[in-house]
């Protein structure tokens, strides 16, 4: 709670500081009149940002990245009752909507500030990176040590609020599902949990380093694109378990998941010019899930 609070305070302070520098009297009116405030795109059904494509694929992303994610669901599973868990999910949705709105507001202000004061997008490996605009403005544009300090605190808070829960869920899943921890003695359980936690921490560092070199777009887009591949089989497995009573040949599930991801990835690499200018986006997630579902039907007993 404290980590999230510090992150939101940092966002609030940055919004106020940048608004003062831009001498904005009415922030919401100012942003709404800017072209950056445009949210819904209905012009071109082939475009990647077409509203209904984003809406339906976004709904599936919400299901898999929240409902099927150990990292997120462990928070609900610790509630005392089903009703408490339902209330938690409702309030979480409301709070998350407000927090997302704040970040979008800050994002628009950063680009407006950069345009006003002729600040170029920072380069990484020779390419402009929008992800680096916030630290560039906070640390290198003369806005003062207060904003720079608040930015660093917010960054640390955001990183830890994500990393600690991710490490917990990774450790739990690996110990329970892969190592079958319940078969071991109490002393061995404690040792195995610690070793696994350290191992996952090291692995996470290497993943972050690798991600820096793999990224070819901004972090958010890259993460959601990766989610269409990694969460697709989960979506298919979940739907199969909910909507059918079939038993399956368990030993072939990994092959179905692997083939589903491979086919989805191949579809995602098709150039738009080859399919009439249609840009394949996050709709790969339900397609991936459907492929997994059909594959599971094929290996039913």
For 112-154, write each residue's pLDDT tens digit.
989 888 888 887 777 788 888 888 888 887 777 777 888 888 8
Determine the angle formed by the axes of helices 284-298 and 51-62, rounding to 10 degrees.
50
Q: In the block, which residue shows the tokens 């990694």?
A: 230
Tell me, what's the pLDDT at 169? 80
At residue 52, the pLDDT reads 92
pLDDT value at residue 267 = 92
pTM of the full structure: 0.77
Rounded CA gap, 232 and 289, in Å? 4
**Which whole-number Å values give the CA distances from 190 to 75, 165, 195, in the listed order?**
22, 19, 9
User: What is the reported pLDDT for 60?
Assistant: 92
Which stretches within the chain are classed as H helix?
2-22, 27-32, 51-62, 70-77, 82-116, 133-140, 145-173, 186-214, 219-230, 232-243, 253-268, 284-298
Give the model's pLDDT for residue 272.
Answer: 87
d(CA 97, CA 90): 11
d(CA 298, CA 301): 9
- For residue 233, the model assigns a pLDDT of 94
How confident is the model at residue 196, as a pLDDT? 92
Residue range 22-40, pLDDT digits in tens: 888 888 888 888 888 888 8
pLDDT at 256: 96
**Domain boundaries along the sequence of the chain:** 1-162, 216-301
pLDDT given for residue 239 in this prediction: 94
Low-confidence ranges of the chain (pLDDT < 70): 216
Task: Scan for tokens 């290996």, then name that residue.
Answer: 299
* Cβ contact 88:10 at 8 Å: no
């Amino acid at each position: 709670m404290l980590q999230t609070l510090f992150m939101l305070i940092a966002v609030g302070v940055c919004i106020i500081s940048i608004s003062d520098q831009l001498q904005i009297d009415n922030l919401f009116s100012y942003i709404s009149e800017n072209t950056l405030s445009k949210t819904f795109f209905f012009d071109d059904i082939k475009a990647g940002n077409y509203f209904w494509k984003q809406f339906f694929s976004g709904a599936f992303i919400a299901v898999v990245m929240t409902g099927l994610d150990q990292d997120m669901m462990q928070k609900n599973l610790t509630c005392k009752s089903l009703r408490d868990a339902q209330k938690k999910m409702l309030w979480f949705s409301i709070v998350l909507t407000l927090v997302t709105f704040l970040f979008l507001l800050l994002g628009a202000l950063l680009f407006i500030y950069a345009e006003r004061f002729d600040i170029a997008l920072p380069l990484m490996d020779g390419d402009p990176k929008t992800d680096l605009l916030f630290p560039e403005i906070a640390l290198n544009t003369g806005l003062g040590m207060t904003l720079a300090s608040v930015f660093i605190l917010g960054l640390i808070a955001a990183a830890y609020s994500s990393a600690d829960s991710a490490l917990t869920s990774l450790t739990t899943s690996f110990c329970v599902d892969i190592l079958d921890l319940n078969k071991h003695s109490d002393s061995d359980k404690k040792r195995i949990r610690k070793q696994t936690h350290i191992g996952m921490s090291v692995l996470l560092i290497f993943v972050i380093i690798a991600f820096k070199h793999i990224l070819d777009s901004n972090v958010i887009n890259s993460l959601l694109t990766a989610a269409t591949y990694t969460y697709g089989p989960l979506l298919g497995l979940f739907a199969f378990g909910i909507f059918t009573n079939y038993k399956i040949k368990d030993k072939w599930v990994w092959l179905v998941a692997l083939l589903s991801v491979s086919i989805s990835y191949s579809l995602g690499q098709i150039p738009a010019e080859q399919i009439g200018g249609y840009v394949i986006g996050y709709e790969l997630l339900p397609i991936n899930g459907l492929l997994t579902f059909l594959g599971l039907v094929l290996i039913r007993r």
